[in-house]
Amino acid sequence: MISRHRLLITDRFDAQALAHLQAHPRLDVKVSATPLPTTDELLGTQALLIRSRTKITTELLAQAPDLQVIITSTSGFDHIDLQATTARKIDVMFTPDANSASAAELTWALVLACARRLPEAGRAIKAGDWARERLIGHELEGKTYGIIGLGRIGRKVARFAQAFGMTVLAYDPYCEDAHFQQAGATRSGLDELLRQADVVSLHVPLTPETRPLLHAAHLTLMSPHAILVNTSRGQAIDENALIEALQDRRLGAVGLDVFAREPLTRSSQLLAFPHVVLSPHLGATTMAAFTKSSREAAEKAIAYLERKEIRDRLPGDAPWLTRGFQKTRD
């Protein structure tokens, strides 16, 4: 009799990818009712397929003594305690390419919504106010776009900015010159980028170094007409400092898909500003990204089971991650 591996899926997963896993003769696939698997579900589980709502902590790992591999169908990975998984010698993989197009497109949706004040315009017209004279927007052609974090998403955002006729600056101390060239971006220091850019967007992973990356002092460098967009992680910007800058009208408009605490509470001061455009962490929420990330995760699970093959391992050898680890230990 062939031995079967127990694989537990803890979050939403594409039906076809699920069927593909269920058809594998050496997999015993279970689906957890919620993103928080129970002790009973974790016991005997060798492989976990998760998304960001399943937090991998030392406590969870203690309930999963047989766990060998975790695959997250996401490009972010701050929901996984990588020091804990490394200590337990559990292999971890992610799907970094599956949702970069969706996240880059949402970034631009927020940029344009900010520049042309679309949420304000929609609210006005629904309230019977034909606010054509009042809602003056910003033209982007000929302006400067500043990208913080020139990885997969940042490079796509750079290409969109060029299509709009913008000059692109980027800050990424870990990125090679070749990537800047490919993206058509000029390398910049962080302060210089914040001073010069008309639009700034963040595309950094959450690491000890980027928690937060933008402090109060950084926000004072920006033009009072600038648009700031964050689709990376809420904690990459000091949110209290951001609220103060908005109260003092030191920023033109802000687009946020991510927040220091999610879900954003009804009492958040961010809800009060007409020039803040909000979305509830929708960067990866498209059918295409969902399908791609689920299928990629399923393929990785099968390749691991059959050949112990590991692609897109976490933690990888990226210098920003290694450095982050050292900082955490300090």
When the beta carbons of 175 and 260 are compared against ligand NAD, the nearer one is 175
- C-beta of 80 vs 150, nearer to ligand NAD: 150
Least distance from C-beta 240 to ligand NAD, angstroms? 20
Binding site residues, ligand NAD, CB under 6 A: 75-76, 96, 99-100, 103, 148-154, 171-175, 203-207, 209-210, 213, 231-233, 257-258, 281, 283-284, 320
Q: CB atoms < 10 A from the CB of 137, how many?
A: 14
Beta carbon of residue 168, minimum distance to ligand NAD (angstroms, whole number): 15
**Min. distance of Cβ 279 from ligand NAD in angstroms?**
8
Which residue's CB is nearer to ligand NAD, number 46 or number 231? 231
Q: Minimal distance in Å, beta carbon 167 to ligand NAD?
A: 19
Which residue in this structure is represented by tokens 């031995």? 3
* Residue 59 CB neighbours (<10 A): 10
Beta strands 144-148 and 199-202, pairing class: parallel
**3 state SS of 299:** helix
Which of 82, 24, 80, 56 is closest to 7 using CA atoms? 24
Instruction: For ligand NAD, give the closer residue by CB, 120 or 172.
Output: 172
**In whole angstroms, how large is the CA radius of gyration of the chain?**
21
Nearer to ligand NAD, 39 or 186 (CB): 186
Q: Give 329's contacts (C-beta < 8 A, 6+ positions apart).
A: none
DSSP 99: T
Burial string for 71-98 (b: 16+ CB within 10 Å, else e) reads bbbbbbbbbbbbebbeeeebbbbbbbeb
Give me the residue whose beta carbon is nearest to ligand NAD. Answer: 151
Are the beta carbons of 211 and 328 closer than 8 angstroms?
no
Q: What is the Cα–Cα distance from 112 to 99, expressed in whole angstroms?
A: 20
Sign of the alpha-carbon dihedral angle for 189, 195, 198, 203: positive
Q: Which residues are catalytic?
A: 233, 262, 281
